[in-house]
């Protein structure tokens, strides 16, 4: 498995290059983006973050002080704006009540404790927690999302159980705990799923076709026709 995952990473990197993800100016902006991007296209998240930046409140203190209704109005482009405003407020309440508003103090927690604290916060599930851990805290935690499941299921590489923990273990057990590697790998998977391995896959354009169960099947079907 380790060799297969390294080979896939190499093919993705050769095809797309470094992704420079997560696009943000600060760790706190990564946290905000990770919450806002739930069920939202990134282009709309950028609009919402732009609203927060334009009003000068894109900081823990700024978002804590802003009225909930006003926060919902500002994050409207990201969708589910009332729910996401409450999720942002929940994170800030945790941050100030437990860590004095100090994001560095939160991120200084050992990885398992940090993950538990995030998961105990309203609106933060496993994918969001791992995104915050990897991209904002800079700790090695592989992010599993729908794109990862789609790409690797088609490749024929999937755990026996479809649980989040099983998917994450498949990567964590085979890859070194290298933050940069895990960062780049997840970003490349998402890039590939958005551009080529779509819901209706473009197998003829795929850099993984030669090692993909679906791609090899598509090749046989094409040749037969």
Q: Within a domain: residue 225?
A: no
Q: What is the pLDDT of residue 224?
A: 42
User: Any idea what the CATH number is for the domain that residue 173 is in?
Assistant: 1.10.1670.10
pTM confidence score: 0.94
Q: In this structure, are 157 and 92 located in the same domain?
A: no
Q: What is the pLDDT of residue 222?
A: 44
Among 142, 137, 100, which Cα is nearest to 118's?
137
Task: Quickly state the pLDDT bin for 7 (edges 50, 70, 90).
Answer: very high
Q: Within a domain: residue 196?
A: yes
Angle CA 11–14–19, to nearest 5: 105
Q: Within a domain: residue 41?
A: yes
Q: Within a domain: residue 11?
A: yes
Length of the chain: 225
pLDDT tens digit sequence for 197-210: 999 999 999 999 99
Distance CA 217, CA 55 (A): 52
User: Any idea what the CATH number is for the domain that residue 113 is in?
Assistant: 1.10.340.30
Q: Are 132 and 87 in contact, with CB atoms under 8 Å apart?
A: no
Final residue belonging to a domain, choices 107, 136, 165: 136
pLDDT tens digit sequence for 69-83: 999 999 999 999 999
Final residue belonging to a domain, choices 119, 136, 153: 136
Q: In this structure, are 35 and 102 located in the same domain?
A: yes
Q: In this structure, are 166 and 132 located in the same domain?
A: no
Distance CA 18, CA 53 (A): 26
Q: How many separate domains does the chain show?
A: 2
Q: Is the pLDDT of residue 219 over 90?
A: no
Range of the domain at 76: 27-136
For 143, the 3-state DSSP assignment is: coil
Q: In this structure, are 105 and 195 located in the same domain?
A: no
Q: In this structure, are 149 and 173 located in the same domain?
A: yes
Q: In this structure, are 209 and 154 located in the same domain?
A: yes
Torsion of CA 214, 216, 218, 224, to 10 degrees: -150
Q: Within a domain: residue 160?
A: yes
Q: Within a domain: residue 82?
A: yes
Q: Within a domain: residue 72?
A: yes
Q: In this structure, are 31 and 8 located in the same domain?
A: no
């Amino acid at each position: 498995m380790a060799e297969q995952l390294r080979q896939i990473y190499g093919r993705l990197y050769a095809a797309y290059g470094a992704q420079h993800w997560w696009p943000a100016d600060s760790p706190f902006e990564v946290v905000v983006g990770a919450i806002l991007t739930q069920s939202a296209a990134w282009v709309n998240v950028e609009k919402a973050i732009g609203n927060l930046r334009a009003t000068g409140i894109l900081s823990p203190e700024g978002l804590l002080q802003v009225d909930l209704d006003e926060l919902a109005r500002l994050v409207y482009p990201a969708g589910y704006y009332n729910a996401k405003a409450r999720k942002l407020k929940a994170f800030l309440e945790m941050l100030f009540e437990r860590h004095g508003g100090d994001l560095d103090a939160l991120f200084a927690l050992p990885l398992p404790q940090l993950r538990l604290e995030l998961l105990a916060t309203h609106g933060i599930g496993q994918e969001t927690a791992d995104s915050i851990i990897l991209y904002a805290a800079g700790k090695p935690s592989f992010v599993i999302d729908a794109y990862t499941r789609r790409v690797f299921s088609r490749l024929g590489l999937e755990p026996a159980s479809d649980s989040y923990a099983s998917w994450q273990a498949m990567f964590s057990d085979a890859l070194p705990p290298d933050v940069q590697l895990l960062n780049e790998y997840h970003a490349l998977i998402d890039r590939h799923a958005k551009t080529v391995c779509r819901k209706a896959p473009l197998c003829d354009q795929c850099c993984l076709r030669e090692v993909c169960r679906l791609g090899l099947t598509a090749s046989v079907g094409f040749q037969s026709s």
